[in-house]
């Protein structure tokens, strides 16, 4: 078997040191990079194409989950975290494994055993991670930002800047004042994750920011359409109209 190309991504130097030390006991593993944040991790993964990453979930600027969303083909992932609630979420999301900080050698060995077992079925692993990214855990208090990848950069969009979201088959298109951005995620996720006080699904294909509403007007028989402040016109379904009446109290 070829050596297992491994990247450690964690903003805590001590955590990286411990993982590196533990991995020295396993000759099959080769550490090809260490990264201190999600931006560095994304670049290293894209350039070096590792087999496995040890990935901290809670990092500044871009979290481990947000970084994973930007990868077309994620490697095998072992989540690392200091927070028990994240460990539970990782388990629920069918991650390969998770490690709670501070790391314990015996528990680390179990992760190594799982990696070795799963390497023979890497394709299935990739599908599991992609499924996780389609429906990540819902943030408490509502989603406050969305991370997207453009042709030249990574962009962080505050939720308040979203005008509306449109369904695009297995993707969504996010519209802002700056333009539109494609995201590999579901409408269902955004419907549940965005703050309900500001966002509402008005149609099976559209979620709107109620702060962008200019007016609602009749359209054909017993139907309505919405005009946004930038003059975009969107259809409103019967269910969407009922939800709007409840939300806006008209």
Q: Output the six-digit token pair for 123.
A: 């394709």
In sequence order, the 6+-apart residues with CB closer than 8 A to the CB of 224 are: 216, 217, 218, 236, 241
Q: Does the pLDDT at position 123 exceed 90?
A: no
Nearest alpha-carbon partner for 244 in 200, 197, 193? 200
What is the pLDDT, as a whole number, of residue 90? Answer: 58
Place 1 in a pLDDT band, splitting at 50, 70 and 90: low
Q: Can you count the helices (H) and strands (E) in the chain?
A: 8, 15
Closest CA to 80 of 108, 113, 51: 108
Q: Render pLDDT for 207-240 as a digit per residue (tens, 0 to 9).
A: 999 999 999 999 888 889 999 999 999 999 999 9
- Which three-class secondary structure state does DSSP give residue 218? strand
CA distances from 34 to 8, 54, 64, 117 (A): 5, 10, 14, 24
Strand partners, 77: 53
Are the beta carbons of 160 and 146 closer than 8 angstroms?
no
* Beta-strand relationship, 76-81 and 97-100: parallel
Distances (CA, A) of 16 to 28, 31, 97, 160, 163: 18, 11, 17, 35, 40
Band of pLDDT at residue 169, cut at 50, 70 and 90: confident
Dist CA 63 CA 81 (whole Å): 11
In the predicted structure, residue 78 carries a pLDDT above the cut 60 = yes
**Cα distance between residue 86 and residue 72, in whole Å:** 23
Can you give the pLDDT at residue 150? 85
pLDDT, tens digit (0-9, with 9 covering 90-100), for 62-77: 888 888 888 888 889 9
Q: What are the pLDDT digits (tens) for 4-48?
A: 999 999 999 999 999 999 999 999 999 999 999 999 999 999 999
């Amino acid at each position: 078997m070829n050596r297992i190309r491994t990247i450690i991504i964690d903003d805590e130097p001590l955590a990286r040191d411990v993982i590196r030390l533990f991995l020295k006991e396993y000759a099959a593993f080769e550490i090809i990079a260490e990264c201190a944040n999600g931006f560095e991790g994304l670049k290293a993964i894209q350039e070096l194409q590792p087999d496995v990453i040890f990935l901290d979930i809670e990092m500044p600027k871009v979290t481990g989950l947000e970084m994973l969303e930007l990868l077309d083909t994620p490697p095998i992932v072992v989540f690392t975290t200091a927070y028990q609630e994240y460990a539970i979420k990782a388990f629920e999301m069918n991650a390969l494994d998770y490690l709670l900080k501070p790391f314990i050698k015996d528990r680390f060995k179990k992760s190594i055993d799982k990696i070795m077992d799963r390497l023979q079925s890497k394709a299935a692993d990739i599908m599991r991670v992609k499924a996780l990214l389609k429906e990540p855990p819902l943030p408490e208090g509502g989603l406050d930002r969305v991370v997207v990848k453009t042709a030249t950069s990574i962009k962080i969009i505050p939720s308040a800047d979203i005008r509306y979201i449109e369904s695009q088959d297995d993707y969504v298109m996010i519209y802002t004042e700056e333009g539109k951005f494609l995201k590999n995620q579901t409408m269902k996720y955004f419907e549940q994750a965005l703050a309900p006080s500001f966002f509402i699904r008005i149609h099976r294909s559209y979620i709107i920011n109620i702060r962008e509403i200019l007016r609602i007007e009749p359209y054909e028989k017993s139907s309505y359409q919405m005009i946004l402040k930038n003059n975009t016109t969107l259809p409103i379904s019967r269910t969407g109209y009922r939800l709007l009446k409840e939300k806006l109290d008209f």
